[in-house]
Chains A and B, each alone.
Chain A
Amino acid sequence: MAVNTNAPVGAETYGAAAPPELVQLLTPEGERVEHPDYDIDLTPEQVRSLYRDLVLVRRIDLEAVALQRQGELGIWASLLGQEAAQIGSGRALSDQDMVFPTYREHGVAWCRNVDPIKLLGLFRGVSHGGWDPAEHNFHLYTIVIGSQTLHAVGYAMGIQRDGAEAAAIVYFGDGATSQGDVNESFIWAAVNNAPVVFFCQNNQWAISEPLEKQSRIPLYRRASGFGFPGIRVDGNDVFACLAVTREALRNAREGQGPTLIEAYTYRMGAHTTSDDPTRYRVESELEAWKLKDPIERVKAYLFKNELADQEFFEAIDLEADELGKDLRRRCLELPDPDPLAIFENVYAEPHALLQEEREQFAAYLASFEGVA
């Protein structure tokens, strides 16, 4: 009997791509809807502020993609389409909470006041990070898939031991849920009742691998197997992402342990600028998700409820243009680091081998001085 690997038994019932039951507070048409378990009370000013965040991080992203196309960045991982998941969750954080991002969390970095030029510097090859995680409570980007989930749980165990009013939140994608480290982090978090929120942005694609290649059940349901709650939220709804993350963080801080949040969203661009999504996905999928654009629905909500006028939207667009221009200028001005920076910050204490290699390389470089 031939085995059809594309249609596992029970796929209709438990399929990873089953119609999503998710927490939604704002429809794609900009209508405010109620949810029995989650609510949010935002002032008009707060909604306008969320809208500004969404527009500005999209602009940072678009400018970075353009810079990569012009050869100014080695690569860029676009967040296009995932702005609401990141701004919603990012704005739920308190200053004391600690963020462990993957490499696509430009919107969360924005919420933590990390200068976007630092992100560009990383992808330009100026450094492997470059910001002080303690200053922003925003850890370095992590390239290896899922590694940072364990760091977040360990950090949360430290919060427990300190008796602090804080939580850790860790970001990862749908593909990462297949990694051993992510599953180990679930176990550690559960048995230690660690104050950590797992924020999975299910953007449907792990480079070219669809969710069906990673899981036979919706990702949020995995949490129950580890012994903590899982919740699926409309990842394109900034209100719902804010409400759900706020609740999960509060539970963590109050000693109720971890939560897995699956933000159901879509990566509208390529995995990175090196990727070609036309080889593995159909145009109609993208068109369907464009109708759920996270920014357009907030704009519609603001319009319909007369919470903002044309002047407001134009001012934000102007601000985005200025931000993009400024970022472009500063990116082009980023100097290459000093060659001897290769040897710096590898060790906290002197290391004889590195000192020797540094001296030899410095002497070699110096030998060119004065040579025409």
Chain B
Amino acid sequence: MTTGASRTAGGRSGGAATLTLVRAINEGLRRAMEEDPKVLVMGEDVGKLGGVFRVTDGLQKDFGEDRVIDTPLAESGIIGTAIGLALRGYRPVCEIQFDGFVFPAADQIITQLAKMRMRSLGALRLPVVVRIPFGGGIGAVEHHSESPEVHFTHTGGLRVVACSNPADGYHMIRQAIRCEDPVIFFEPKRRYWDKAPVDLDADPDLPLDKGRVVRPGTDVTLLAYGPMVRTCLEAAVAAEEDGRSLEVIDLRSLSPLDTELVVESVRRTGRCVVVHEAPVFSGYGAELAARITEQCFYHLEAPVLRVGGFSTPYPPSRLEDHYLPDLDRVLDAVDRTFAY
């Protein structure tokens, strides 16, 4: 047994276990399907193969082809039919195989999924989860390493979240499935194989729309989500050797944003660096910087700085180490906040 999770005769695992993020989300999906017969999993290769990253491994075997649906190869069709299933009372969890492939489905997500509740004056519920493995760092070909989150945070009617570790992966996917609103669920694919303890029977310690201080500090606030949380934690460890105390916040929920948590931290530290993989221009960091400027203006010792991707298409993988923010680029930005 590689996961460390104990499994009962019914196939249900329980207790504390050390799991990869892949396995943790898999367990979360399994629990959700056990608890609610209306939960469906659908997407390309999610059945027999168990997903290209194996996130849905074994689910079709245990829940059948009617609940774990291998779909035709057409992303708009996946989301469009999920909307219809939700209208009939089901709770579909769709997998978009890779970030760059969400664009054929963007029409259904943006023009239909996000807006249907408002159009019906609240008569309709659309509890659809769209899982998207996102971000770079795995040496993939083009369209397999992108960070399309702001397309969705810019769309009213959607909730957008990103997990960064196995425990959150397990709890957040269950919370997303229970949510009555459509949720775009980003999974950091280069952290899929990170391991950490997960208590499978515990209740989640945070609501889905709250962020978390993952490392307290006093000098600078680092804001990150998804794959960049680990990078920022590594930067904080390195900065400590230079005598600097960095506070790292995992935003977890991008829409809505846990503004209170961010504002409280930045007012305390007086400095802030935002880190994400997506291009900086018009990016999520721009929203954070503007919001922090509005609410923390008299507490700031330096402007909010942003570290992220360039305004280019995602580069060939031999160049991605230059494109993706790493520990040194984060520390460089931290240095610059002290130059003011």
Q: Footprint of B on A, CB under 8 Å?
A: 127-135, 139-140, 142, 144, 147, 149-159, 161-162, 168, 180-181, 184-185, 187-188, 191, 344-349, 351-354, 356
Most central of A139, A156, A180, A347 by chain B CB within 10 Å: A347
Closest CB in chain B relative to A307 CB, distance in Å: 41
Pick the contact of A347 from B71, B81, B117 — CB < 8 Å?
A: B117
Residue on A with the closest CB to B89?
A158
> Is there contact, CB below 8 Å, between A150 and B85?
no
> Which B residues are in CB contact (< 8 Å) with A155?
84-85, 87-88
> Is there contact, CB below 8 Å, between B72 and A187?
yes
Interface assignment of B34: CB less than 8 Å from any CB of chain A: no
Q: How many residues belonging to B are interface residues under a CB distance threshold of 8 Å?
A: 46
Interface assignment of B14: CB less than 8 Å from any CB of chain A: no
Interface assignment of B52: CB less than 8 Å from any CB of chain A: no
Residue on A with the closest CB to B79?
A150
Q: Footprint of A on B, CB under 8 Å?
A: 66, 71-72, 74, 76-77, 79-90, 104, 107-108, 111-112, 115-125, 156-157, 159, 179-181, 209, 255-259
Most central of B80, B90, B156 by chain A CB within 10 Å: B80
Residue on B with the closest CB to A166?
B88
Q: Give the distance in Å from the alpha carbon of A127 to the alpha carbon of B117 in the complex.
A: 12
Q: Give the distance in Å from the alpha carbon of A157 to the alpha carbon of B71 in the complex.
A: 12
> Which B residues are in CB contact (< 8 Å) with A133?
87, 120, 123-124
The contact sample of 17 A-B pairs, CB cut-off 8 A, is A133-B87, A133-B123, A134-B123, A144-B107, A147-B108, A147-B111, A150-B77, A156-B84, A180-B104, A181-B76, A181-B80, A345-B118, A345-B121, A347-B157, A348-B180, A348-B181, A351-B255
Closest CB in chain A relative to B42 CB, distance in Å: 9
> Is there contact, CB below 8 Å, between A157 and B157?
no
Q: Give the distance in Å from the alpha carbon of A151 to the alpha carbon of B108 in the complex.
A: 10
Pick the contact of A151 from B84, B90, B259 — CB < 8 Å?
A: B84
Pick the contact of A157 from B81, B108, B117, B258 — CB < 8 Å?
A: B81
Closest CB in chain A relative to B104 CB, distance in Å: 8
> Is there contact, CB below 8 Å, between B108 and A128?
no
Q: Give the distance in Å from the alpha carbon of A345 to the alpha carbon of B118 in the complex.
A: 5
> Is there contact, CB below 8 Å, between B72 and A154?
no
> Is there contact, CB below 8 Å, between B80 and A185?
yes
Q: Give the distance in Å from the alpha carbon of A312 to the alpha carbon of B89 in the complex.
A: 45
> Which B residues are in CB contact (< 8 Å) with A159?
88
Pick the contact of B80 from A147, A345, A347 — CB < 8 Å?
A: A147
> Is there contact, CB below 8 Å, between B157 and A346?
yes
> Is there contact, CB below 8 Å, between B72 and A188?
yes
> Is there contact, CB below 8 Å, between A191 and B118?
no
> Is there contact, CB below 8 Å, between B74 and A184?
yes
Pick the contact of B159 from A127, A151, A351 — CB < 8 Å?
A: A351
Q: Give the distance in Å from the alpha carbon of A140 to the alpha carbon of B115 in the complex.
A: 11
Pick the contact of A140 from B66, B82, B119, B256 — CB < 8 Å?
A: B119
Residue on B with the closest CB to A352?
B256
Closest CB in chain A relative to B309 CB, distance in Å: 24
